[in-house]
Structure 1
Amino acid sequence: MYEENTSDSISFDTEMSIEKAKDTKKTVKRLIKLLLNQKWKIIIVIFFAIISLTFTMAAPLIFSKAINTIYEGIKNMSSTGSFNIDFHIIKKLSLLLLFIYLLSSLANYIQQNIMAAVSQTLVLSIRKEISEKLSKIPLKYYDTHNKGEILSRISNDLEKVSDTLQSGMMQFITAVLTIIGAVILMLSINWILTLIAIFTIAMGIIATSIIGKKSINYFANRQESLGKFNGQIEEYFTGQMVVKSFNMEDEIISKVQISNNKLYLDEKKAQFITYAINPLIRLMNQIGYVLIASLGAIFVIQGRLSIGLIQAFFQYVDQASEPLTEAAYILNSMQAAIASLERVFEILDEEEEQADTINYKTISNTKGNIIFEDVKFGYGKDLIITGIDLDIKSGEKVAIVGPTGAGKTTLINLLMRFYELNDGKIKIDGIDITKLKRSHLRSLFGMVLQDSWLFDGSIKENISYSRDIATISEVKEAAKLARADYFIRTLPHGYNTVLNDENSSISQGQKQLLCIARAILANPYILILDEATSSVDTRTELEIQNAMDNLMKGRTSFIIAHRLSTIKNADKILVMDKGTIVEQGNHEELLAKGGLYSDIYNSQFTIK
């Protein structure tokens, strides 16, 4: 929409793409704060996780009793000549193990189920917050950010957060609890063997911590490359007709390949750092196994430990080391999720439109008198509108003309408060528009843009978008005034024809007629046409102008047009150049002046 700031938006995107300022601690704290909204669910999850772990960690001790029972029976064989194994005890221990594993699995199922609900509830709340935020962010945000990257943050980044919370977070908590519980039980068996196990585990934690810190940048770069790649694909996909028209396929493929290779390298680094931890920790674990097995054998020979307890100790070492491997992997996955979540939070932290005044005013019996008082606007210190004074009377038909980039569309955007003024005032019927609620202000206008926007739905639904309570007869009347009724009736399903991206039976010009019908149906007090007839043929344009002339009687209207022949009958023509009004008057007066308007008008008929 904002045609005058193309160069600024390009430079802004470039700066953003190389920015790498990250604050992991802040993001994690913010995530924890969001999770605390479901603290009771999380408490229940942790409770069932502890129950599941308690039963799981009791199993090795029961196993040790069964092994010792069998060992004692076999050992006594030398004196009695036969096995003396108490199978009654073995049976009881087996049933107890089966019962423990069933309860552990049930508790694990419950905590996983609840954690999935926590994850989806959190992501749902963030999606709702983003939906609300996107409606509050000023249009300049969309002017200066790649739409594909915004979509990537809302979809890909949030999906990664959801997956990590749903599976990774609970696994991480379980892994930490398992390590703590296993170490306590190992200490109860033998403190010397436990020190050896703790040493190898500590080395694994140190390695995980070092690699984890290095992985943050890798995952941040990966997500940034993914956003840029998605943005390019979205941009080139929507502009494929232009790309083909100028034979730019090879260049586009080359650019996409560069981004694809960058994404590949960043993804490769991120995945390598993730999977490199596993074999490193396993190597340390194997060293620990050798030391524990050697020393444990000595303790068994000395009678300080039983075979069953050594077997139980090894199981606890496994229970401590395996979760450590999982925790390392999940920790690195969480780094990717944190990088993704940070990108989502960046949208939520964007500056919003100025809040509507609390004691807002309303305009009843709108007349449409509009005044601009020394209006100035720009991004920062660079002004695009450099001081405009206007006095437009009720019912006047005002045309705005000028070269590309003169500020024509910006002037309209300021009138509708799509952007806030740097200085000056705009008044409608004597009331400053900043004193009006935005929804009330915009309800006074009917707007037709150069880009025709239609959603997936029937033609009737698209026309009645401006007034959803309109009857079918009112919709048809608006279509007739917009000269759209004839072609609508030629369609197989008429006004019930469903429009979508695959529907090729509607031309661009016909889509624009539907948008004009939508504006007519709204029956606005003030009408804005921003190159509204640029996609229709000359004959249809004249018909629409006649219909619009009838519609605009008694209503203030603004027309932005490059075809100056269509605005000859305007009451006032504003000629803009470099963000200010350089001429104003009617068609004859401006031609007589021989200024910029005269040059632009006569250039239409110049043959070179």
Structure 2
Amino acid sequence: MAGLAPNEKSMHFWPSAKRLLGTLRPQRVTMIVVLVLSVISVALSVTGPWIIGKAVDYIYSGAIASRLPAGQSKEQVVEGLRHSGQNTLADMIAHLNLIPGTGIDFGKVGEILAIALAVYVCSSVLQYIQSWLLTGAVQRAMADLRRDVEHKINRLPLRYFDNQPRGELLSRVTNDIDNLGQSLTQSMSQLLVSLMSMVGVLVMMLVVSPLLTLVAVVSIPVAMLITAQLMKRSQKQFVAQWKHTGSLNAQIEEAFSGHELVTVFGRRPQVEARFRDKNGELMDAGYRAQFISGLVMPIMMFVGNLQYVIVCVLGGLRVASGALSLGDVTAFIQYSRQFTQPMTQVASMTNLLQSGVASAERVFEVLDAEDQEPDRDAQLPTPVQGKVSFDDVSFGYKPDVPLIEHLNLTAEPGQTIAIVGPTGAGKTTLVNLIMRFYELNSGRILLDDKDITEISRADLRSKIGMVLQDTWLFEGTIEENIRYGNLEATDEQVLAAATATFVDRFVHSLPDGYQTVIDDEGTNLSAGERQLITIARAFLSDPAILILDEATSSVDTRTEVLLQHAMNALRSDRTSFVIAHRLSTIRDADTIIVMENGHIVEHGNHVDLLAARGAYHRLYMSQFEGALVDETEELAPVHS
């Protein structure tokens, strides 16, 4: 799911295009109105050349009649021409509607041109209305698609995001949907009018001259063959283009979010080199996609011009023979141009269509990803006591690589369970399983003797407060960030939570106090201050179960001591799970669990575990060995 390889496609073009059109189904009433308006607009538009052709006939007939002797009938003039051997001219005049000796009837010509003008104005107005309606329908459909993607993301398991670069996913949700909307908006109206124009023009061409129509339509299979071949070659290039766009976005997002580390470790040249590589791949894919699809337009124009020349030559011969009037040939030439023009427009839109369908495939991949297991309807009893039990739990992020095996553990209501162990032992995984971020391979986790898989995730998580080592604050005021833990909390409750977690102590030193706006990265606060706010947010949620994952690692020693007192008060009558590397912070825990390789190797209180001189003792003493060595070296006498 990390993206398509340059030479593969998740779907074929037409199934993807069909599904894409399916996104417009909720707008079907508007689309029907658009279709009706398009039919009327095109019908009016294609009658315009025929009407103008009649005006040309009046002008041409009047010009010829002005040069013929007055007082004779048309039949007499034709007979006289035949006697003089001018049979071609006689045939042409015989098919004209004229009275010898008269001139051009400008009044009649003006009436016809006025009708033509009215027809074109009405056609343009209807086309404007249908374009306006279609644009609104497409934008509403894209808004619905964004909503569907947003809902889908909320239904995806956390495992999906573990395997998906954040920038790549953001590109699918933003860039690809934007490109999809632009492609539909720019192409659908023109494509609809162009296809209908081709049908309408073909009908009018058949009415004027079936023979010339046969010559004109010969270009259709040639054009279709060229377009099909070029689309086949360019489609996978468009897929690659948007794949590389997502990859480049992921690299940029990673580099920008870790800009400080990149600078500290002097990795700017490597980051810039990687950017150049990714940017070059995107440029190459975009060039190939645009170049191949761009070939359609000039080739189609060449085919259209060739057809135009043939129609003009044959049309002139038909007028000379009297088989067609000059107005009919003039109208047919316009029709031939109108017939090839929509074909050229359709061909020129292939790059937009292919780009849009390529983006649609990437969005559909997100929508087609497997949802997390559906929630059950069972609800937790009120109030929640907070008893948590692990019953023979086994879990691994990969099915064939177990991390936790046959783990059994019970936390009684109100107990504080500290979880310690080396990196990779499974400490954070343990609390993630309580939150049901991942599904178990086997076994059960019980909350108040009820299997958490039978409880809705929202109901389960509403009873749990969690503070992570990595702080997360959104752009807003300090008060809003604290209130995020309980949107119904009063100002007094927010202040009480802030005071209990010592946020109130530093807030008053800020210019705007609790109304100080935190930027999206929280750079206007220190790491410790950001952590205090997240702890205050958890306090305000008043959870039945509290999870602290290295929650005090970013605060200074003095603040950590104060927080320990505050958390002791908070943990009263609450079940708490505390992950800590600094073992001095969990001495007062009811039970300390020592984990290694996904197994509980020791458990007990601080005093008993030290006395056992096992794994906990080794961990505890290792945190002081370095300090003792440093102190010894510092106090050792220096001999000159």
Q: If the length of structure 1 is used for normalisation, what is the TM-score?
A: 0.95
Match of 1:47 in 2: 36
- Please say if residues 4 and 240 of structure 2, whose CA atoms lie closer than 8 Å, have aligned partners that are also in contact: no
Match of 2:86 in 1: none
Cα offsets for 1:279-298 (capped at 9, x unmatched): 00111112112222222221
Match of 2:291 in 1: 272
Is 1:439 aligned to residue 428 of structure 2? no
Match of 1:26 in 2: 15
Match of 1:6 in 2: none
182, 186, 190: which one pairs with 1:163? 182
40, 49, 58: which one pairs with 2:47? 58
109, 119, 135: which one pairs with 1:100? 119
- Please say if residues 221 and 266 of structure 1, whose CA atoms lie closer than 8 Å, have aligned partners that are also in contact: yes
Q: Secondary structure at the match of 1:59?
A: helix
Match of 2:532 in 1: 513
Match of 2:468 in 1: 449
Q: How far is the alpha carbon of 1:467 from its aligned partner? A: 1.0
CA distance, structure 2, for counterparts of residue 18 and residue 564 of structure 1: 53
Structure 1: gaps of 5 or more residues = 1-11
Amino acid in structure 2 at the alignment position of 1:53: V
CA distance, structure 1, for counterparts of residue 405 and residue 523 of structure 2: 44
Q: Secondary structure at the match of 1:452?
A: coil
Q: CA separation of 1:438/1:16 partners in 2, compared to 1, >3 Å: closer, same or farther?
A: farther
Q: Secondary structure at the match of 1:264?
A: helix
CA distance, structure 2, for counterparts of residue 27 and residue 19 of structure 1: 14
Q: How far is the alpha carbon of 1:78 from its aligned partner? A: 2.5
CA distance, structure 2, for counterparts of residue 120 and residue 230 of structure 1: 24
Cα offsets for 1:230-270 (capped at 9, x unmatched): 11111111110110010000100000110000000000011
Q: CA separation of 1:220/1:461 partners in 2, compared to 1, >3 Å: closer, same or farther?
A: same
388, 400, 404: which one pairs with 1:381? 400
Match of 1:241 in 2: 260
493, 498, 508: which one pairs with 1:474? 493
Q: How far is the alpha carbon of 1:104 from its aligned partner? A: 0.5
Is 1:412 aligned to residue 401 of structure 2? no
Match of 2:109 in 1: 90
Q: How far is the alpha carbon of 1:380 from its aligned partner? A: 2.5
CA distance, structure 2, for counterparts of residue 579 and residue 500 of structure 1: 39
- Please say if residues 205 and 324 of structure 1, whose CA atoms lie closer than 8 Å, have aligned partners that are also in contact: no
Match of 2:59 in 1: 70
Match of 1:584 in 2: 603
Cα offsets for 1:478-530 (capped at 9, x unmatched): 11111110111111111111211376431121011001011111121111101
304, 307, 312: which one pairs with 1:293? 312
Match of 2:383 in 1: 365
Q: Secondary structure at the match of 1:420?
A: coil
Match of 1:5 in 2: none
Q: Secondary structure at the match of 1:506?
A: coil
CA distance, structure 2, for counterparts of residue 273 and residue 45 of structure 1: 32
Q: Secondary structure at the match of 2:484?
A: helix
Q: If the length of structure 2 is used for normalisation, what is the TM-score?
A: 0.90
CA distance, structure 2, for counterparts of residue 13 and residue 40 of structure 1: 37
Cα offsets for 1:41-82 (capped at 9, x unmatched): 211111101111111111101111111111122223323698
Which runs of structure 2 are paired with 1:493-572 in the superposition (5 Å)?
493-501=512-520, 504-572=523-591
Match of 2:74 in 1: none
Which runs of structure 2 are paired with 1:129-148 in the superposition (5 Å)?
129-148=148-167
316, 332, 336: which one pairs with 1:313? 332
Cα offsets for 1:142-187 (capped at 9, x unmatched): 1110111111111111111111222211211211111111112112
Is 1:605 aligned to residue 640 of structure 2? no
Is 1:36 aligned to residue 25 of structure 2? yes
- Please say if residues 482 and 533 of structure 2, whose CA atoms lie closer than 8 Å, have aligned partners that are also in contact: yes
CA distance, structure 2, for counterparts of residue 109 and residue 260 of structure 1: 39
Q: CA separation of 1:135/1:276 partners in 2, compared to 1, >3 Å: closer, same or farther?
A: same
Larger Rg: 2
Amino acid in structure 2 at the alignment position of 1:364: T
- Please say if residues 421 and 595 of structure 2, whose CA atoms lie closer than 8 Å, have aligned partners that are also in contact: yes
Q: CA separation of 1:290/1:208 partners in 2, compared to 1, >3 Å: closer, same or farther?
A: same
CA distance, structure 2, for counterparts of residue 142 and residue 106 of structure 1: 49
Q: How far is the alpha carbon of 1:363 from its aligned partner? A: 2.2
Match of 2:369 in 1: 350
CA distance, structure 2, for counterparts of residue 75 and residue 32 of structure 1: 55
CA distance, structure 2, for counterparts of residue 31 and residue 430 of structure 1: 47
CA distance, structure 2, for counterparts of residue 261 and residue 470 of structure 1: 52
CA distance, structure 1, for counterparts of residue 197 and residue 103 of structure 2: 36
- Please say if residues 420 and 595 of structure 2, whose CA atoms lie closer than 8 Å, have aligned partners that are also in contact: yes
- Please say if residues 550 and 578 of structure 2, whose CA atoms lie closer than 8 Å, have aligned partners that are also in contact: yes
Is 1:323 aligned to residue 342 of structure 2? yes
Q: Is the deviation greater in 411-420 or in 190-199?
A: 190-199
214, 222, 226: which one pairs with 1:203? 222
Q: How far is the alpha carbon of 1:444 from its aligned partner? A: 1.5
Match of 2:142 in 1: 123
Amino acid in structure 1 at the alignment position of 2:301: R
Q: CA separation of 1:502/1:357 partners in 2, compared to 1, >3 Å: closer, same or farther?
A: closer
CA distance, structure 1, for counterparts of residue 63 and residue 542 of structure 2: 98
Q: Secondary structure at the match of 2:466?
A: strand
Q: Is the deviation greater in 430-439 or in 584-593?
A: 584-593
Q: CA separation of 1:605/1:473 partners in 2, compared to 1, >3 Å: closer, same or farther?
A: same
Q: How far is the alpha carbon of 1:16 from its aligned partner? A: 7.6
- Please say if residues 172 and 331 of structure 1, whose CA atoms lie closer than 8 Å, have aligned partners that are also in contact: no
Amino acid in structure 1 at the alignment position of 2:36: F
Q: Secondary structure at the match of 2:592?
A: strand
402, 409, 421: which one pairs with 2:421? 402
502, 511, 525: which one pairs with 1:492? 511
Measured on the aligned residues, the alpha-carbon RMSD in Å equals 1.8
Q: How far is the alpha carbon of 1:566 from its aligned partner? A: 1.0
Amino acid in structure 2 at the alignment position of 1:133: K
CA distance, structure 2, for counterparts of residue 151 and residue 302 of structure 1: 67
CA distance, structure 1, for counterparts of residue 375 and residue 313 of structure 2: 76
Q: Is the deviation greater in 578-587 or in 50-59?
A: 578-587
CA distance, structure 2, for counterparts of residue 269 and residue 16 of structure 1: 15
- Please say if residues 530 and 561 of structure 1, whose CA atoms lie closer than 8 Å, have aligned partners that are also in contact: yes
Match of 1:3 in 2: none
Structure 2: gaps of 5 or more residues = 71-100, 630-640
CA distance, structure 2, for counterparts of residue 123 and residue 580 of structure 1: 49
Q: How far is the alpha carbon of 1:430 from its aligned partner? A: 1.2
Cα offsets for 1:540-570 (capped at 9, x unmatched): 1111111111111221111111111111221
- Please say if residues 574 and 584 of structure 1, whose CA atoms lie closer than 8 Å, have aligned partners that are also in contact: yes
Q: Secondary structure at the match of 2:489?
A: coil
Q: CA separation of 1:269/1:439 partners in 2, compared to 1, >3 Å: closer, same or farther?
A: same
- Please say if residues 473 and 522 of structure 2, whose CA atoms lie closer than 8 Å, have aligned partners that are also in contact: no
Q: CA separation of 1:151/1:29 partners in 2, compared to 1, >3 Å: closer, same or farther?
A: same
Q: How far is the alpha carbon of 1:388 from its aligned partner? A: 0.7
- Please say if residues 61 and 309 of structure 1, whose CA atoms lie closer than 8 Å, have aligned partners that are also in contact: yes
Amino acid in structure 2 at the alignment position of 1:426: I
Is 1:79 aligned to residue 68 of structure 2? yes
Q: How far is the alpha carbon of 1:38 from its aligned partner? A: 2.2
Match of 1:258 in 2: 277
Q: Secondary structure at the match of 1:79?
A: coil
